[in-house]
Structure 1
Amino acid sequence: MSTSGSPLASLCREALEELGGLTDRFVARVWQLDPYRDDVVDRSEVARDAEASFELLLRSIGGLRIPDRLSGISEDIGRRRARSGVPLEVILQAIRIDFQLLWDLLVAKGEAAGDVLLRSAPLVWQALEAHTLTLQRGYLDEAALMAHEQHRVREDLVRRLVVSTSPGRSLQRQVESALDAVGGRPWLVLTAHLGQLDALGVRAAQLRERGLAAHAQELFHQAFLIVEQQGGRRDAVALVPGIVGGYSWCAELADLADAVSTARKVLRALPPTATGPLGPEDVWAALVADEIGSVGDAIVTTVLDDFQRMPDVDQRLLHETFLAYFTTGSSSRAGELLHVHRNTTINRLQKVHKITGMNPFVPSDAALLHVAFECAASGGAEPIRPLGPAAPDRGQPTV
Structure 2
Amino acid sequence: MHSPGNTPATAAGSATVRSALLELLGDVDALATRFVAQVREVVPYSDGAVEVDRLQSDAVDTYERVFRRLVDLPVPERLVEASRELGRTRAHLDVPLAAVTAGTRLHFRIVWEVLAERLAPEGLAAAVTLPVQVWQAVEEHSTDVQVGYHEAATALAYARERDRHRIVDTFLESDGRDGTLLSGAAAVLGMDVEADVVCAVVPAGVAVPGVGRRTGLHVHPWRGGAVLLATEDSALRDVVCGVGPLARGLARVPRAVRVAEAVAAVLPSGATGPVRPPDVALALAARALGPLRADVAGDVLSQVLALPAPERDRLLETFDVYCATGSVAATAERSFCHRNTVLNRLRRLGECTGLDVTVPAQNAVLLLAVTAWRAGPPDAGRAQSEASAARRWAATAS
State the match for 1:345 in structure 2: 334
CA offsets per residue over residues 84-109 of structure 1, 9 Å max, x none?
11222332343344444445555666
C-alpha distance after superposition, 1:211-265 (max 9, x if no partner): 8655435xxxx22544543x33364347xx4xx6545364444345433433332
- TM-score between both structures, scaled by the size of structure 1: 0.64
Distance in 2 between residues matched to 1:372 and 1:178, nearest whole Å = 44
Residue of structure 1 aligned with 2:151, choices 125, 128, 141: 141
Contact residue 248 and residue 263 of structure 1 kept, 8 A:
yes
Q: Indicate whether 1:59 and 2:60 are aligned.
A: no
Would you say the 8 A contact 2:65–2:79 is kept in 1?
yes
- SS of the residue corresponding to residue 216 of structure 1 reads strand
Q: Which residue of 2 aligns with 1:40?
A: 49
Q: Give the alignment partner of residue 94 of structure 2, picking from 85, 89, 105.
A: 85
The alpha-carbon distance between structure 1 residues 105 and 320, as it changes in their structure 2 partners (threshold 3 A), is farther
Q: CA deviation at 1:167?
A: 4.6
Give the letter aligned to residue 216 of structure 1.
P
CA drift at 1:286: 0.9
For 1:96-135, list aligned pairs within 5 A: 96-103=105-112, 105-106=114-115, 111-113=121-123, 117-135=127-145
- Give the distance between the partners of 1:348 and 1:123, measured in 2 at CA: 95
* Percent sequence identity over aligned pairs: 24
How much has 1:169 moved relative to structure 2? 1.6
Change (3 A) 1:54 1:160: same
In the other structure, the counterpart of 1:258 is 255
1:324-360 CA-to-partner distances (Å, cap 9, x unmatched) read x67xx9xxxxx9xxxxxx994386797767754657x
Provide the rounded CA distance (Å) in 2 between the counterparts of 1:314 and 1:266: 29
Please state if 1:248 is matched with 2:244: yes
- CA shift in 2, pair 1:363/1:182, >3 Å: farther
RMSD: 4.9
> For residue 223 of structure 1, what is the aligned residue in structure 2?
224
Structure 2 stretches of 5 or more lacking a match? 347-355, 383-398
Cα 1:304–1:347 change in 2 (3 A) is farther
Which whole-Å CA distance do the structure 1 matches of 2:264 and 2:361 have between them? Answer: 26
> 1:54-76: per-residue Cα shift (whole Å, max 9, x none)?
44333323334557874522111
Q: 1:388 — aligned with what?
A: none
8 Å CA contact retained: 1:99, 1:128: yes
Larger Rg: 2
Question: Given that residues 75 and 134 in structure 1 are in contact (C-alpha distance below 8 angstroms), is that contact kept between their aligned partners in structure 2?
Answer: yes
Tell me the secondary structure at the aligned position of residue 40 of structure 1.
coil
Residues 286-338 of structure 1, C-alpha deviation per residue, up to 9 Å, x if partnerless?
11222256699779987998899672553575467579x67xx9xxxxx9xxx
Q: Where in structure 2 are the equivalents of 1:205-224 lying within 5 Å?
A: 214-216=219-221, 222-223=223-224
| CA spacing shift, 1:321–1:51, aligned 2, 3 Å | farther
Match of 1:311 in 2: 311
Q: Is the 8 A contact 2:186 2:193 kept in 1?
A: yes
Q: Could you say if the C-alpha distance between residues 373 and 171 of structure 1 is closer, same or farther in structure 2, counting changes exceeding 3 Å?
A: same
Tell me the alpha carbon deviations over residues 120-141 of structure 1, each in whole angstroms, 9 at most, x when there is no partner.
4553343233222221221122
Answer yes or no: is 1:12 the counterpart of 2:17: no
Cα distance 1:290–1:173, how it changes in 2: closer, same or farther (>3 A)? Answer: same
Q: Distance between the aligned counterparts of 2:139 and 2:372, measured in 1?
A: 70
User: Aligned partners of 1:363 and 1:95: how far apart in 2?
Assistant: 81
> How many residue pairs are counted as aligned between the two chains?
348
SS of residue matched to 1:283: helix
Question: Aligned AA for 2:49?
Answer: V
Q: Is the 8 A contact 1:191 1:247 kept in 2?
A: no
Residues 214 and 265 (structure 1), Cα distance of their counterparts in 2 relative to 1, 3 Å cut? closer
TM-score in terms of structure 2 length: 0.64
